[in-house]
Structure 1
């Protein structure tokens, strides 16, 4: 299944795509895609013929986050061997874990917000894992049983806050709208191999990142099993799994985003996103 939500923020309609790419309203079957309903989706929607459901027009419509607010957003740092080489850092022996603040979670095409206190705003196309059922101390061979599916994430980062202000990476990862997610959650049965997915990111039409999940150091099953050793993963939790090379910080000289820049990104089979960088003052009430 490809799951998405369409409509104004706070009034999104939960949908699934049919074989023609038409969005179908599933709200008669499930009120929304939430941490509470996600564990039930396989039974609720798994045998549903989408063509029996009302079509939802998506042309010109806002595509919302593919689920409501997750309880937790986890991230894995330096998880691509070629990105670690680009950063001049050793390949980690264990997954590097950090969190993104809940307020970073936003729709795939919502704007990236630029604060006047920023100076090194960067991009990162990433594969996102969406947890389907709770996981605690699960073995690697059973880890994928706890995965609902996959999505596209832009792990937006302010490098000066991340690396030059002391403390943990969370400072540079937690600003509002720093985690555009979607457009879809693609359930695991539709992804033949999550470790063979081409991915890309453009800035102002110029290709910056061109990678593949086959260079991930720790694969999906390893990440889910590993994290479940330390914490209970909850339905709807989002795990951002790292980025391939081509980030702005890796350019010589570095390249940073600023107001007016346009970012587009995608992963084969999981959809595409587009964001415009806008001054915080333009959207602040």
Structure 2
């Protein structure tokens, strides 16, 4: 009898842990005001939380209430873009969009639906963040101007290789969150600009090899971005240090802010600066690789 009770206690203790295993992403996705993108694989489950000032204004089949301000997302089987409207008392309307990726065996498939990929390499030094993606986001021409967040459009981060549609994109949910946090961080420190300009976002292994970049570039994994500030629209870094010149000092100035952003937010990732040359006006690389790298 004692052995039976001990076994029963053991099973009860394991139940919360077993339940958590059914969750494909144990981290809660926090819905903020404005445009939110949760990027997932088909038929996966994800927790979503909202604060008391944000309300969902409609019902959808893939979102269900589990507790006050806590929801469960059950991703549909069919890849594509799904959304639900939100409303904030002071900040107005927004939306949560669920982006369901198309399953692709990126470790083996070199071309998918006519789009050249080349196979993804083995994970760099075994790091989980370098695992081959399980799928990519299918993009048709009508989606190029679609916003993934308040400050990022799909066309900003599409791979630059030439091809017909559909094209395919990889961007990470946490990568988009990082860009939003970085944008707010810079505004809070006195930089005045409307949004980032992008040199590069996602790259397929095929395109990455074509331009001579390293095979383990974070641009393959959806959380790396080459950024500059260009509110005057001349395709060069603005005079953000306000010394009257658009030059490498502006790149250095922004680079220090990016370093401070990672440090102040206890983040680990890559930051690199690229000074102006004949091909571009200088930019800063930032990624979410999970360990520090500087160049």
Length-normalised TM-score, structure 2: 0.25
Length-normalised TM-score, structure 1: 0.26
Radius of gyration: which is bigger? Answer: 2
More contact order relative to length (CA 8 Å, sep ≥ 6): 1
